[in-house]
Amino acid sequence: MSSTASQRALDYLEQLPGTTFTKLYQQPSTALAIFRRMLPHLAKTIVMAMLYMPAPFPLSDLETWVKPSSESVRARDKAVSVLQRLRIVFEKPGKDGRPAYVLAPAFAKALRLALTGGGEHRSFGVPSTGEGGDGVTVEYLDSFARKQWEAILYYVVGSANTSLSGGVDISSGTKKLLQNGEFVTIKQKHTAISKQGFEFLLQETNAQIWTLLIVYLQFAAEVGHKPTTIGSRASSLTVLSSSKWTP
């Protein structure tokens, strides 16, 4: 994801209440996508070190991980800041009187499930039960995801040529989402791209997905999704952001 899209997503997510983060992090796919795409490398290292820690992580221990140079200290402070802004890590008093860090329980549980494949959350979909017993291949999923996303982009462009989009249509909810985000305008039943839509198309795929995810979170209630289902509904977009075909 581009730095601009990452910062925009981070700025928006920072404004969300803690209860919304808890709902988002109930889905392992959401936790994994945020871990993979929004965290600096050092922040990822800190999270992985804490993931199975039985006790808080003292700041004094973290300080031994980085060189005493100003550049290294800035990288450490940035990593901790991002983790705190995303409600992934919380600070609490340590035994030595200095700060210590703990992972948010919801995020830690979801990430452990995502990495180990445990639980029955079905955050990443359900097993294939098609005829013949053959599982859905990675290549099929890659092709399916690409066609679905391209259908959204063609809708933004306003193309009426179904051969270009492979005959794939998008749901009325997605169309409403694109209108709410002001990527398209509807005039006399004709779909036209807006200036913001042109800017959307110029973004890399990963940035486009995160941009649409933010719009979804903003208008979830308007498109008929209850706040209690935000996590499960948003996970379908965030799992796309971590799929192999995105840049």
The full set of domain ranges for the chain reads 3-116, 139-241
With pLDDT > 70 as the criterion, what percentage of the chain qualifies? 75
Report the DSSP pairing between strands 89-93 and 184-187: unpaired
Report the DSSP pairing between strands 190-193 and 184-187: antiparallel
How do residues 171-223 score in pLDDT, each as one tens digit?
Answer: 888 888 888 889 988 887 778 888 998 988 888 887 788 788 778 777 765 55
Give SS3 for 93: strand
How do residues 20-34 score in pLDDT, each as one tens digit?
Answer: 788 888 888 888 888
Cβ-contact 168, 151 below 8 angstroms:
yes
Report residue 134's pLDDT band, with 50, 70 and 90 as the boundaries: low
Give the position of tokens 């948003």. Answer: 234
As a whole number, mean pLDDT of residues 32-45 equals: 88
Give the position of tokens 């198309």. Answer: 201
Q: What is the pTM of this model?
A: 0.72
Q: Torsion angle of alpha carbons 5, 39, 221, 215, nearest 10°?
A: 10
Question: What pLDDT score was predicted for residue 6?
Answer: 64
Question: What pLDDT score was predicted for residue 15?
Answer: 79
Provide the CATH number for the domain formed by 3-116 in this structure: 1.10.10
Report residue 245's pLDDT band, with 50, 70 and 90 as the boundaries: very low
